[in-house]
Structure formats: C-alpha cells, structure tokens
Structure 1
Amino acid sequence: MSIDGSFTHAMVNELQAELIGGRITKISEPYSNEIIMTVRAQQQNYQVLLSANPTYARIQTTEIPFQNPPIPNNFTMTLRKHLQGSFINQIHQVDNDRIVHLHINTRNEIGDLEELVLVIEIMARHSNIMLVEAQNRNIIDAIKRIGPDKNRFRTILPGSKYVNPPQQDLLNPFQLSDFSVIERLDHDFPNLEVLAGELRKHLQGLGTDTSLALAEALHQSGGSLQTKYADFWQKFDHPAPVTTLTKEGKLGFAPFPFPPLQVDQHFTSLSTMLDQFYQTKVQRERVREQGAQLIQITRNELKKNRKKIKRLEKDETDAANANQYRIKGEVLMTYLHQVKPGMKKISLPNFYDNNQTIEINLKVELSPSANAQWYFKQFQKKKNAGQYIQQQIKNAQAEIDYFENIESQIELANPENLADIKTELQQAGYLKRQTGRQKKKVQVSQPEKFVATDGTVILVGKNNLQNDKLTLKTADKRETWLHTQKIHGSHVIIRSFNPSEQTILEAANLAAYFSKARDSANVPVDYDLVKRVKKPNGAKPGLVHYTGQKTVYVTPKQELVEQLRLNAKK
C-alpha cells in the first residue's frame, strides 16, 4: 500500500508511544529533503526520519545507519537553533490526512518558554517539512521554500502564515457517527472494486489497498455492518505490520494483513517494516541522486572507449591490407608512361599476380609520379600504425574493464561509499577537483565488517580505494583474501591465519554478493593468502594479480549476508 491517511494514523499512534516527552539531542540532514532527529526517550535513543522525498515521503523511526554531510544546510541549522535540546510534548495527525504535527516545547533567545510545531506533509512531490510558530502560525523555515510565483494559495517562505493544504469534503473514518452512508454504499455496490472506489469518494485518507481491504471486511459474513466497520478501523490502533505480495509478486506493505494480499513477512513495528521495505529502494534512489555525476562520467568513458575500439579494429584491418598500397605504388612507377594527366583511375598489369589486371584510383590534382608516392606514403603510414594499434586496443579495453568495475561499484554502493569513488576519479583526472581541496589529505572510508558463524571477523571493501587499502595495507600477509573469479567485485579479507571451511564459504558468499554476479548462481570465488596478492606497477586502483589460488563455488544469499552483518553488531 501507499502511505495514506489511515497508515499515517497507525504510525502516529506508534510514534506517540515512543517519543512523547522525548528530548531532541541531534538534528541532521544526511540526504536531500530528509531530516534525522535523534530523540532521547524512555531511556533509549530513537532516530526519527522525516522525509519529504517526492517518491518515498514518510515519517518513522529508523535503525538504518546514515552519514552526516560535512557542512549542514540552512534548514538543518535553523532546526538545530530552535529545537536541539527541546522536548516533544504532542504528536497528532490532522484529521485523517497525511499531515503530522510534532508540538515541541522550547525556549526562545531570551529564555521564555514557547511552543513550535514541526509540520510534516506527506504528499508525493508536494511533500514538505516546515517549522512553524504555534501561536501565530508564522513559518520559521521549510525544507522546500515555495514562493507566490509557484503557488498563489500557499506561500511557504520564512515569515509567511502557515496555511493548511486544501481539504476535500470527506468523512474522517475514525470519527464516523452516522453509518447510513456506509450502509447505502454496501447495499448499492455489491462489487468489491466498485465499492472500494465509492468508499474512497466518501471517506478521507483511504488508499487503494485500504479501501479494497475495507470493502472485503464489510462483505464478510457474520456480525452487523457497524461491528465489521469498527473492527476494521480498530486494527489501525493495534497494528500487526506485514509486507505483502500481490498475485503478480509485487512487494507491498500494510499495517495488518489485507486480504486478498498474500503475507510475505511479519514485523514487530511499522517503522521496522518500513526500514525493510524501503532500504533497497531508497538506497538505489539516493545513489542515483548523489552519484548522478559519477554515473554520467562512467557512461561517457565506456561509450568513448567502445567507439575507440571499433575505430581501431577498422584501422587494424586497413593495416593488414597495407601491402596493397605498396603494390599499387610499384605498379604505377613501372607504368608511369601510361598514366595521362586528368585520369581518375587506371587498370594496369599486376606483376605480383601473374599480370592480372589491378585497378588503381588516382588523384587528378597530382602528377603520375606523385600518385605513386602517395601510395608509398599510405603503405608506410599503415604499416607503422599497425605496430601501435594492438597496444591501443589493449589500453582501451583496460579502460572499459576499469569503468565497468566502477559502474558495478556504483550499482552496489551505499550513498556513503560514493565519496571514495569520486575521490578516485578525481585522482585519476577523470573528474575535476573542487577548488582549494587539491592539497587536502584524502580519508578513505572503512570497509564493512561482518562476523562469521564461528566469530571470525570478515572485512569487505566497497570500492577501489577501500579495496587497495584493505588488501595492501590493512590485511596481514598471513590472512586470506577472496575475490570473484574474473568478475568485478569487492576484495574480502578473512582476519584469520587458519580459517575454517565454513568461514571460507561464508566469506565467499560475501565476495559473490558484493560483485556483479550478485543475482547469479554457482559463482566462482578465488581465495588466496594475502602475501600472494600483488599490485602491478602503475596499475589502476583495485587491480591486483595473484597466484596459487583455490576456487570455491557459491550462490549468493542475502539472508546469510544479513546474518553475518547482524553478528557484527552484537
């Protein structure tokens, strides 16, 4: 389902139980249009995600780690100024709409107690987060500022009055007192899909899945219509979150099982469910947004070098035929007396081929002797070019392999891994460095840590700079190194001098999972001692040679990866 008003109702209940009375200790904006507030409540820290992302707007607590940007933006600084150290005293939903208000007690610059409201509007591309003064409804700031040139009805700028979004004249399903409307709809529209559509026209905050589930509940046998209606909405106050599957296999989510959708997985909270559902989707979206420049450079370099190889292969064919130019030049020199000024071509006996006739094109602006010399020059040029073409093809293929590796790393990257890839491309000259940062020492991020079933630590590099540092500097020469065989992927180090067979297989699973073969079966993974892994002189980042390796075959399993990741957190 989408996050409609009904799901928002359930989420607000969950947040109220967790956050009321909590103190806001940290505020950051790790990603565009998304705020993370750390709230200390009930003797534990909650990371509260407020998202105005056009595709994935929502409010929830989250356990997914994030990385702070080096320089906070203006809206983050405004929130820190007004809210850091303040207390949340109320969380409520506006009717059954996708609008949530966090009422916060704080003190102003002169120390007087005042109430501010953090407004989260979950409305697709119109989603927004605003800080508003509770008493006079003045907007202090917003994550998306909207001037009168964009929206005459609602100006969202500092100092403007906060105006509620336009509302439809619909009934709040949680406060319905007159059931005659529901009785009439249930009687007039026996078809479930038609009834669901009519329910959406009369009740506020119903998405497609919610309205279909309500129609299904109303059509069940036994009990009065009013009882079935009340039982359905009470489930939003006591949710049993699940991810769901349609008949076509499309993954979704719901606050409780929605027939006829198939239950995929149960969760202990709505926020945990959203973490699981959105993690991969949102991660890909963030990588596409933040890595747009890197993706463009990679695609351009791949396109350029693939074209270059096609051109070089044509030149190689021409070079293989270079002798034809020499033969034509010698035949012309032998029969110069037969060439007349102004001729465009001539047929002459070829004494290299039993005097078979050979046709020779001529340049009318050149003399017969100059035409012969032109053919000799072309022969020499193509002969010389042939000596370098193979090396040029080899160099272009190396560039293609390198950028295919970069492309694979971007596809598998978390947003925080993109900085290393950007640094690598800057160091290689593919991307301009920012002014004033040329001399700044590069800090390579840490590889990801996993722990095998027997407690052995396994480290996984996520990009070339991490791979080089991990393999060539961090790892002990007696430890075990793994990499997918002839497939772009991560360097993996088992931090043990004598790992068990099970640990090797688990590390191989990580190597296969963090490679271009993630979705393949029976992936070959080489493993070797670190001391036998060498970096050739002048090689690009991430490229190594190794000898004496052994090979295992594994099928990447996400469940195993998550278990090894969970082991590392314990």
Structure 2
Amino acid sequence: MPLDGLFTHALVHEFNELIVGGRITKVHQPYPNEIVLVVRNNSVNYPLLLSAHPTYARAQITHIPYENPQTAPNFVMFLRRYLEGAKLQKIEQVENDRIINFYVNARNELGDIQEIRLTLEMMGRHSNLFLVRENDSRILELIKHVPADQNRVRSLMPGATYILPPAQNLTNPFTAGLDGLAPMILDTPFDDWATFIQSTYQGFGRDSATVLARTINQDGDHLAHANNWLARFNDLEPTLFTSNNGALSYSAFNWLQDSVTSENFQTLGDMLDAYYIGKAERERVNQQAGSLIRVVKNELKKNNSKRKKLLATLDDAENADDLKVKGDLLITYPHLVKKGMTSVAIENYYDDNNLLNIPLDPKRDGLKNAERYFTKYRKLRTAIAYVNEQMTLTDAEIEYFNNIVAQLEVASPKDVEDIRLELTNGGYIRANKKNKQKPKVSKPDKFKSSDGTLIEVGKNNLQNERLSLKQADRRDIWLHVQKIPGSHVIIHSPNPSDVTLIEAAKLAAYYSKARNSANVPVDYLPAGKLRKPNGSKPGFVIFEGHQTLFVTPEASLVSQLKIK
C-alpha cells in the first residue's frame, strides 16, 4: 500500500506506544529533506525519521545507519534550539490525513515554557516539515521555503501563520465508522466499490480501498467485516509483500493480496527499513554522488578514448619495418628519384626483387625522402616503449574507475564522502579550501555470521585499505571476488567455520559488480599475505597462495546478517 491516511493512523498508533513521553536527546539532518530525532524512552533510544522527500516522504523509527554532514544545516541548528532536551508530550494525526503533529514543551529565550509543534505533511512533492509555535500558529521555520508565486493557497515561509492544506471534505472512518457502506453494498456494482470508498472516506489509497472491497465481499455480515478490518490499524502486524516479479509493497497488517509472498516484522519501522533500504538509500546516494558520477564517467570516457589512440599508435608501430625498408631502398637507389615526383617503383631486394611503390614528398630528392622515412621509423620504434607504458597506466585508470563505479552502485550515503575524499586526494576533484575540517573515513559495514563471528565489509577504497592493511589481524581471513571490482571482506577469525566462510564469500559477491550473477568465484587467504605495491592507489593489493570458493550472492542473507 502507499503511505495513505490509514497507514499514517497505524504509524501514529505505533509512535504513541513507543516514544510518547520520551525526551528528544539529539536532532540531526543527515539529508536535505530529512530530519532524525533521537527520542529516549524507557532507557531505549529511538531514531525517529521525519522525511519531507518528494518521493519517499514518511515518518518512521529507523535503524538504517546515517552519516551527518560535517557542517550542520541551518534548519537543524534552529530545531536544536527548541527541541533538544524537550519532552515529547503527544503525537496526533490530523483527521485521517497524511499529516502528523508532534508536540513538545520547550523554553523560549526568557526561560518560559511554550508549546511547540513539529508538523510533518507527507504529500508527495508538496511534502514539508514545519516548526510551529502552538499558541499563535506562527511558523518559526520549515525545511522547504516556498515563495508566494509558487503557492498562492497559503504562505510557506518563516513568520507566516500555519494553515492546513485544503480539506477534502470526506468522512473520517475512525471517528464516523464504516456504517455508511451499507447503501454501497446494496446499490453499487462490486467493481465500483473501491471507487465509492475512496470518494466517501478520508485517507484511502487505491490499494486500501481495493482490499477493503474484497474483504467486505466475503460471506457473512459485510459491515462487521468492514469494521473488523478497520480495527486492524490499531492491532498491527507489519507485513512486507513480494510479488512474483519481485516488486515490494507493504501494509499495517497481513491483508488479502494477490500472487505474493509475505514477511512479518516486529514494528512498522523495521518493515519500512526493509522496504526503503534499496529505494530511498539509492536515491540518497544519487543525490549526494551526482557530481562524483559525472567525474567518474568523464574519466572513463577520457581514458577509453586515450586507449583507442594508443592502440592506433601501436598498430602504426607494427608497420615501422615497412618504413625502414622504403628508406633502405631510397638510400640505395637515390638516382631514381627526382624532385617533383610523387612516387617511385623500386625493386625490393627484401622481397624477391618485386617492385615496391614508394610514396614521395615531391619537394625532396631521393636522399631527403629516405631520411624522412628513417625519421618516422625511429620515432615509431621509440614510441613503442612509451606507448606500452602509457597503455599499462591507462588500463590501470580504467580498472580503477570501473571499481569506483561498482562501489557507487552498492554505496550507502555514508560511503559517498569517503569516495569524494579519495577522488579529491587523487587530484580528480578540486579540494574545497573553505572546509578546513579534516574529513573522517566512515566505518565498514558490520555483519555477524550464523555462528556469531564478526565479518566486516569495506564499501570503498579508503575503507578497504584501512580494514585490510591496518585493522585486520594477520591471521584474519580476507576475501574478494576474483578479478572483478568489489569490496574487501574480513572474517575476524583465523579459523572460521565452513558456514561463516561461505556467508562471508556471499557478502563479497553481493558487494561487487557480480552481485546479480550466479556461481561467483571468491578468493580468500589470511590478511597477512596481502601486499600493497609502492605508489598504488588506495585499496589496491596483490597476493598469492589463495583458495577459491564459488557462491551465489543472496540479498536476503545481507539483511539477515547485518548488524544494525
């Protein structure tokens, strides 16, 4: 189901059970349109994500790790002034709409208590997050400023009075009940039931309306079925559905769904993490890494073009001996050439005296033309060593940037800055002189195998180098896909079980360019046998004496073993 008013009702129900009464200890803004409030309640920290993303707007308790920017945005600094240390008094949904109000009591500049409201509107590209003073509904700040010429219905700027979006004038099913469905059941064809439900009751997405129509079409008391179905939004059983073609959908409980497999979760937050970890994380990476992707593509294009030119030069060099033969013939028979001639045919004593037609520069005599051919010959012979050297360097650059492409494909947002730092250190991106803070390399992803052994996976070259060459014990087992760009994987054990070894190999295959392949070769050996050549790029190692496993990567295993 999409995140409609019914699912928002379920979210508010879960929030009231888990975090109301807790204290906001930290406020972060890891991404442009998203805030994370860390709410501590009953000795547990709950990271509450409030997203005003135009595509993935939502509210949820999340355990997906995030990396904060080194410089905090202005909006989060403003929120910290009012929210950090404040108690979360109550959470309410506006009618059955996709709007949630979070109420706190905060102290103003004079130390007086004032009620502050954080309002999240989850409405596609119009999504927004407001900090509102409750007593006069004044907008103190909002995550997206919208000029008046872009929204003439209400003012969306600091200092304006907060006004709700235009109402739909539909019935709230949670306050009025679903008894109004009785005429529909009697007078409306079944195919039109979902449309009737959506046009009558507030907060129904198309999926919700369709499932309710199917539910009440069963034998027995139709209205009883309807009210029992609605009550399930307060009796949660978070369910993630996977269709036959691999598409994901979700609901607050396990309802009637066609051609799917289902998986249940403890909380709505855990379920939404599983649903969004691919989609939203990919979007976040694309937002943060847009400039990096352009740099990498340009470098690959430049080096592939250079490689073609080098190959053309090598092809010419293979014909260098032909130039020497022509020079030898011209210097042997210079009297056959007169100025003004464009070519001459000479018996080739290197080829059974067959006539060889030799192009000439009409401005030169025979000896000068011979010298011209010898000069070209010497240049090409001298160029072969240089071209071969350049070909080796160019191939290494292409392999390096293909490796960066593979890392960006599996990167999480926290990995992007590491890749940016690496490209800056390598001179591919201009350093930001204004930012004087020393960047920190993020930590590798951690996993726990089925028998409890710690496994770490480097997601970029800086992580790989630090993990494999500095942090790993010499006896720990190192893994990497064979001859394919991918992550370094360390099993923190000198003698891992076969189960752990296979699971680690599957992680190495998944976090590589072969993640969609089967029967992927993965090399492994003790980390102490790794060597880094002098002057090589970050994350590059050589080794020998390895063994190889063949595995098929499994996305489900990754989420199962990952330490949150």
Of residues 402, 405, 430, the one that matches 2:403 is: 405
Supply the AA of the counterpart residue of 1:321. Answer: N
SS in 2 for 1:291: helix
Match of 2:468 in 1: 471
* Post-superposition offset of 1:8: 0.9
Match of 2:107 in 1: 107
Take 1:495 and 1:103, find their aligned partners in 2: how far apart are those partners?
A: 46
1:290-329 matches, within 5 Å, as 290-329=288-327
Matched, 1:153 2:156: no
User: Contact 1:185/1:199 (CA < 8 Å) preserved in 2?
Assistant: no
Structure 1: runs of 5+ lacking an equivalent: none
Supply the AA of the counterpart residue of 1:278. Answer: Y
* Post-superposition offset of 1:182: 5.7
Supply the AA of the counterpart residue of 2:388. Answer: Q
Match of 2:253 in 1: 256
SS in 2 for 1:72: coil
* Post-superposition offset of 1:292: 1.7
User: Contact 1:525/1:552 (CA < 8 Å) preserved in 2?
Assistant: yes
User: 1:191-241: per-residue Cα shift (whole Å, max 9, x none)?
Assistant: 2xx4323432333222121111122123222114x3333222222222322
SS in 2 for 1:534: coil
SS in 1 for 2:470: helix
Cα gap change, 1:238/1:451 in structure 2, threshold over 3 Å: closer, same or farther? closer
* Post-superposition offset of 1:509: 3.1
User: Contact 2:184/2:193 (CA < 8 Å) preserved in 1?
Assistant: no
Matched, 1:15 2:15: yes
Matched, 1:504 2:501: yes
Supply the AA of the counterpart residue of 2:166. Answer: P
Of residues 229, 234, 239, the one that matches 2:236 is: 239
1:433-472 matches, within 5 Å, as 433-435=431-433, 443-472=440-469
Supply the AA of the counterpart residue of 1:8. Answer: T
User: Contact 1:38/1:46 (CA < 8 Å) preserved in 2?
Assistant: yes
Take 1:330 and 1:185, find their aligned partners in 2: how far apart are those partners?
A: 102
Take 1:203 and 1:279, find their aligned partners in 2: how far apart are those partners?
A: 32
1:535-554 matches, within 5 Å, as 535-554=532-551
Supply the AA of the counterpart residue of 2:57. Answer: A
Match of 1:513 in 2: 510
Of residues 276, 281, 284, the one that matches 2:282 is: 284
Matched, 1:138 2:110: no
Take 1:52 and 1:348, find their aligned partners in 2: how far apart are those partners?
A: 81
Cα gap change, 1:323/1:91 in structure 2, threshold over 3 Å: closer, same or farther? same
User: Contact 2:177/2:227 (CA < 8 Å) preserved in 1?
Assistant: no
User: Contact 2:445/2:459 (CA < 8 Å) preserved in 1?
Assistant: yes
Match of 1:89 in 2: 89
Q: Which moved more, 1:534-543 or 1:165-174?
A: 165-174
* Post-superposition offset of 1:155: 2.3
SS in 2 for 1:29: strand
Of residues 378, 386, 389, the one that matches 1:388 is: 386
Cα gap change, 1:7/1:456 in structure 2, threshold over 3 Å: closer, same or farther? closer
Q: Which moved more, 1:129-138 or 1:335-344?
A: 335-344
1:359-370 matches, within 5 Å, as 359-363=357-361, 370=368
Match of 1:39 in 2: 39
SS in 1 for 2:150: coil
Cα gap change, 1:165/1:409 in structure 2, threshold over 3 Å: closer, same or farther? same
* Post-superposition offset of 1:129: 0.4
1:80-229 matches, within 5 Å, as 80-176=80-176, 179=179, 183-184=183-184, 187-191=187-191, 194-224=192-222, 226-229=223-226
Cα gap change, 1:442/1:40 in structure 2, threshold over 3 Å: closer, same or farther? closer
* Post-superposition offset of 1:91: 1.7
SS in 2 for 1:2: coil
* Post-superposition offset of 1:411: 1.6
Match of 1:376 in 2: 374
SS in 2 for 1:546: coil
User: Contact 1:196/1:211 (CA < 8 Å) preserved in 2?
Assistant: yes
Take 2:178 and 2:311, find their aligned partners in 1: how far apart are those partners?
A: 79
User: Contact 2:284/2:413 (CA < 8 Å) preserved in 1?
Assistant: yes
Cα gap change, 1:164/1:564 in structure 2, threshold over 3 Å: closer, same or farther? closer
* Post-superposition offset of 1:181: 6.4
User: Contact 2:24/2:84 (CA < 8 Å) preserved in 1?
Assistant: yes
* Post-superposition offset of 1:332: 4.7
Take 1:200 and 1:453, find their aligned partners in 2: how far apart are those partners?
A: 47
Q: Which moved more, 1:237-246 or 1:448-457?
A: 448-457
* Post-superposition offset of 1:436: 5.3
How many corresponding residue pairs?
Answer: 563
User: Contact 1:257/1:263 (CA < 8 Å) preserved in 2?
Assistant: no
Take 2:341 and 2:204, find their aligned partners in 1: how far apart are those partners?
A: 84
* Post-superposition offset of 1:144: 0.5
User: 1:390-422: per-residue Cα shift (whole Å, max 9, x none)?
Assistant: 222111111111111122122222211222222
Match of 1:490 in 2: 487
